[in-house]
Structure 1
Amino acid sequence: MGSMHANCPNCNLRYEKEPGNFYGAMYVSYGFSTAIFLVTAFVLYHFFNDPGLNVYLITILIVALILFPLNFRYSRVIFLYLIWKS
């Protein structure tokens, strides 16, 4: 299995990632992170009778770290689907 060409074999165009893709994916990632924080806080509040602030902070941090690989990958994929034009 070979790697991707650095330049187009036909027109010699250099393949590069556009900086806008990273910025756009950061907005999608921010939305995912906000949703993770809110859902975790909602579950803690309603199912564990409103624990203390430390429990909120530690639990949200642990859940966010566990879900970070999914957030990182899917935020880029979803952003590409949002900007893709057929």
Structure 2
Amino acid sequence: MNDKCSCCGLRFEIEPGFYFGAMYISYAFVVALFVATSLFLKVIFDPELIYYLITLPVISVILMPIIFRFSRTIYLYLVGGIKFDPDRVFQHENC
């Protein structure tokens, strides 16, 4: 994640350790991913246990960067008090 917004200069790191709370959101994403993947495998393929033990960690590792980015963004908007202002963003020429 960038330190500052390239358009408005907003610092994304509000305070040291601010994003530790985003771990709970990423945990919820991983649990939802595991449940959805498990249900998909059960309904479509009905595999043995070893396929679950291989598929779930592989998918979670592949999607980890996306999960972390979304969880930090959601945490920033929910707890950080950041609001999106399209008028402010589109006033800058480098956006």
> TM above 0.5, one fold?
yes
Counting aligned pairs with the same residue, the percent is 42
Report deviation, 1:72: 1.1
CA RMSD in angstroms comes to: 2.1
1:18 corresponds to 2:16: yes
Q: How does 1:25-64 map to 2 (within 5 A)?
A: 25-48=22-45, 50-64=46-60
CA contact 2:19–2:75 (8 Å) conserved in 1: no
Change (3 A) 1:16 1:74: closer
Q: Report matched runs for 1:67-78 at 5 Å.
A: 67-78=63-74
Q: Which runs of 4+ in 1 moved over 2 A?
A: 15-18
In 1, Cα distance between the equivalents of 2:73 and 2:51?
A: 32
Q: In structure 1, what is the equivalent of residue 79 of structure 2? A: 83
Higher relative contact order (CA 8 A, sep 6+): 2
TM-score (norm 1): 0.73
Question: Secondary structure of the residue that 2:47 maps to in structure 1?
Answer: coil
Letter matched to residue 35 of structure 2: L
TM-score, structure 2 as length reference: 0.67
Structure 2 unaligned spans of 5+: 5-12, 84-95
Alpha-carbon distance in structure 1 between the residues aligned to 2:61 and 2:14: 30
Bigger helix share = 1
1:56-75 per-position Cα deviation (integer Å, ceiling 9, x unaligned):
01011111011011011111
Query: Secondary structure in 2 aligned to 1:17?
Result: coil
Any stretches of 5+ residues in structure 1 without a counterpart? 5-14
Q: C-alpha displacement at 1:18, in angstroms?
A: 2.8
AA aligned to 1:51 is: P
